[in-house]
Chain A
């Protein structure tokens, strides 16, 4: 069965450092991958989409990589700030269907 793995343990990093979150998947050949941010008590907010034929995508301080051979996506936040503290979800998509991971909680320490 399809499986998406995000680190269930919280990631704590110092302000100013680069945060790297991992999304691994098995038994899946997604056409694209999305990353969302979710704050407590709120719905997810879309951040980035990367397609299967793209290796890397950037948006401001965010960078996403997508390795279909390793079946892995890495999500980087450079120069992290306390305001980046949230849970980050990856979502893998194909025709008419998106499957979400359980998310990784990021805590940026001032």
Chain B
């Protein structure tokens, strides 16, 4: 498996609380992505990064922010969690953009109650 680790793997949090999910890679890949996966919607891109401190929005970015201060770490923050953000979150990495294969992490199951 590619060296990509997500933490935590599972989290239950209350509505209105901040939550940060971490993605750590050991592959030195330039691109990192955060997706959410929900039944009937497939994988949807939240935010992505194309380098340290370089990030951009995906199709479902509202309510989420990201930061990338080091090549190996990409953080996803829910500033004030809502029940609609209950989902499985996947981090992915790729070496040269979306045309290259993406390696996915194991996922984080987040439940907002």
Contact = CB atoms under 8 A, between A and B. Distances in A.
Interface of A: 4, 31-32, 34, 41-46, 49, 89, 91, 93-103
Interface centre among B42, B48, B92, B97 (most CB of A within 10 A): B42
Nearest to A94: B98
Chain B contact patch, size range: 20 to 34
The majority secondary structure among interface residues of chain B is: strand
Interface of B: 35, 40-45, 48, 50, 56, 90, 92, 97-99, 101-107
Contacts of A44: 43, 90, 102, 104
A85 to B, nearest CB: 19
Contact of B42 (A34, A93, A102): A102
Given A89-B42, A89-B43, A103-B42, A97 B105 contact: no
Given A42-B106, A42-B107, A102 B98 contact: no
A75 B48 CA distance: 28
A32 B107 contact: no
B97 A34 contact: no
B16 to A, nearest CB: 28
